[in-house]
Amino acid sequence: MQELKRRLARLLVEKSYREGDFTLASGRKSDYYFDCRVTALHAEGSYLIGTLFNHLLEGLDIRGVGGMTLGADPLVSSTTVISHQKGRPLHGLLVRKEAKGHGTGQFVEGLGNFQPGDKVAMLEDVVTTGGSLLKACERVRAAGLDIVAVCTILDREEGGREILRQAGYELRSLYTRKELIELAR
């Protein structure tokens, strides 16, 4: 698994990691930006992300994975496909930023593959403050599901882990910034 983490780290640094002067979704300023979508939509990147998230989730009794659209869409898709290949099928959920303006008006898509009380894990590309991940968790809980894990590709180590812990979630991450840079070498 370490070799797969190294391969993904190299792809992430090549395709998704930029240094400079950036304003993040949280409003904070940063000397780097991490746009995981580029890597998550790359064929090998998608495979590696799905494989490594499945490894991160081993041993958990869950029925599926979910996340906030648009950032988590490719993460959820790759994780569900790899889970099927591994013989441990996990279904996917996507959480809308705004409720649908028509039809059922729901925030969470994919609920037809779940029963109330089913256990799920939430996926995110980057955690800074944990705000968007917490919002997604609230919506999934309101839909009747039990969240037993929250996972991210990159923990920026800027307070998100602690905020999530205060809300009752333990963050599992594939990388911190330091780990990502070191593994990519």
Kindly state the average pLDDT of the residues 67-91.
Answer: 97
Helix axis angle for 177-184 and 2-15, nearest 10°, is: 100
Q: Residue 101 above 70 pLDDT? A: no
How far is 137 from 20, CA to CA, in rounded Å?
31
Q: Cite the DSSP H helix spans in the chain.
A: 2-15, 36-40, 43-56, 73-85, 131-142, 160-166, 177-184
Class of domain 2-184: alpha beta
Average pLDDT, the chain: 94
Three-state DSSP state, 109: strand
pLDDT on residue 98: 83
117, two tokens:
């009380």
* 179 backbone dihedrals φ, ψ, rounded to 5°: -60, -40
Kindly state the average pLDDT of the residues 1-8.
Answer: 96
- Spell out the domain ranges in the chain: 2-184
Q: How confident is the model at residue 100 (pLDDT cuts 50, 70, 90)?
A: low
How far is 129 from 133, CA to CA, in rounded Å?
9
Q: What is the pLDDT of residues 114-153, one digit of tens each?
A: 999 999 999 999 999 999 999 999 999 999 999 999 999 9
173, two tokens:
């991450």
End-to-end CA distance of the chain: 17
User: Residue 91 belongs to what H/E stretch?
Assistant: strand 91-95
Q: What is the pLDDT of residues 26-53, one digit of tens each?
A: 788 999 999 999 999 999 999 999 999 9
Q: Residue 103 above 70 pLDDT? A: no
Lowest mean pLDDT, pick from 97-101, 146-150, 165-169: 97-101
